[in-house]
Amino acid sequence: MHHQHSPSLNLRAVMALGFLLLQTALALPSATHRGGVGPASKRATAGEEAPSMTQIQQQARDERRALCAIWPRSDGGDDGPAISAALTGRCRQRGLVYLPGTVYNIKTPMTTMGLSDVRIVQLGRLLWSPDIQYWLSVSMPVGFQNQSTVWVFGGDGINWDGYGTGTLDGNGQVWYDWAQGRGNLPRRPMNINLRQLTRSRLRRLRFVQSQMWTMAITYSHDVDLEDMYVKSTSNSRWNTLNTDGCDTINSDKINFRRWQVSNGDDAIALKGNSTNILIEDSVFSHGQGIAVGSMGQYLGRADTISGLRLRNIRLIDTAHVLYVKTWSGQSRGFPPNGGGGGTGVAQDIVVENVRFQGMRQQPFFSWQCENYSGHAGEDCNSSLVKIRNMHFRDVSGTVVDAVTDIGSLQCSSAAGGCNDISADHVSAKTLGGRELTSWHCENVHGNVGFACNGGDKKQ
């Protein structure tokens, strides 16, 4: 609840504190900054200057907001508690949180939920500490598979702007070396879980070197994620498996606009009960592409993915444009690496105006026998997850020479196969110049615009 005493008195006190902290910060030696991020006064993006302390104070006055201006600790200590205190205390409702410092060290987990009408202006880098054993002991469950996180963030009416420099840095290299290419290790945390986030906008943020997944959006709706930069790369022999750019789970009306993702796994993945998802005007490099699923991993549980719109996309050196993956109808092992036996539907998917280069596998791929515990490719015709109403329009590009099919669609006979799949102005050439025309199909019905001439099997 809002306190009823004079907001002007509160604001004067906050302003005085802000000026004192600003003077203190300016008196300190300049911290070494990473990634070319300079002083806040010199930062700008897309022609828009990042706001100064004076401008932030004016905004707080104009909008009658509580102001929380946070500078990094001068001793290199943990800045997480100060950020958490602002977001859960004074600035939780109708607050303006300002992070103008260069590097904020995050050494403890954060839970900042239930925010209401909050503006966050983040100009600096949040840098998570590399203490793997500590983070494994405190990571918090997300509620899907064995996924966990080190920051749970949620609220209504949030506007979080990074102005092109605000960064979440997971210090991921230590995690990639520790994982040694092993997937879905327990308690390995994603960077942030946007949970119960509604009617909100996040923009111009950078996410680099995530510990695992970059983020998951769970139990959320009506969220715009715009002008985002995601990069997780390894400088060692170990890969960046599980560094998904974003996963949506139990969420509706999530809009991804102008994303740039370079990683080692799904650029964006729609998990169970993701509906009305828009992905547009984006560039995805080096990962797997856009994933629908996986679905049907949990025995007896129904998953729905419906209303995906993917348009105006460029993909470079990815495995696919779009791939749909479900588990078989046989339950083998337990999540996260085993499972199966769930039901559901993937439907109403439209992919249009896409260009790709150097794609490593078939641009379009589906299969219904996912498993990570030694049973992949088994019982493919037992899945009860239905795939239908997928439409590909104006999609073209190049694939590596080893690729032979534009699409490979393996559909489960137990679910009645795949229905109503269409391709309009879809083409692919190998880097060597060979035109691809083949589509491999299993149990595909009602295909329009392409022939299943790659060995249609009715099983």
Is the confidence at residue 459, as pLDDT, over 80?
no
Kindly state the average pLDDT of the residues 131-154: 97
Percent of the chain clearing pLDDT 90 (strictly above): 86
pTM above 0.85, yes or no: yes
Residue 397, helix vs strand vs coil: strand
Q: How far apart are CA 178 and CA 197, in angstroms?
A: 32
Is the confidence at residue 354, as pLDDT, over 60?
yes
User: In the 8-state DSSP scheme, what is residue 265?
Assistant: S
How sure is the predictor about 13, in pLDDT bands with cuts at 50, 70 and 90?
Answer: very low
Q: Show the tokens assigned to 295.
A: 């679905």
User: Is 265 labeled as catalytic in the residue annotation?
Assistant: yes
Domains and CATH numbers, the chain: 7-445 (2.160.20.10)
Q: Please tell me which residue in 265, 266, 303, 405 is annotated as part of the active site.
A: 265
Sign, CA dihedral 30-161-81-147, equals negative
Q: 157-215, pLDDT tens digit by residue?
A: 999 999 999 999 999 999 999 999 999 999 999 999 999 999 999 999 999 999 999 99
Q: 70-95, pLDDT tens digit by residue?
A: 999 999 999 999 999 999 999 999 99
Looking at the chain, how many residues does it have? 459
Is the confidence at residue 25, as pLDDT, over 50?
no
User: In the 8-state DSSP scheme, what is residue 390?
Assistant: E
**pLDDT value at residue 454:** 58
Residue 229, helix vs strand vs coil: strand
**pLDDT value at residue 453:** 81
Which amino acid is located at 242 in the chain?
N
Residues 191/207, Cβ–Cβ less than 8 Å: yes
**pLDDT value at residue 46:** 52
Q: How far apart are CA 363 and CA 398, in angstroms?
A: 9
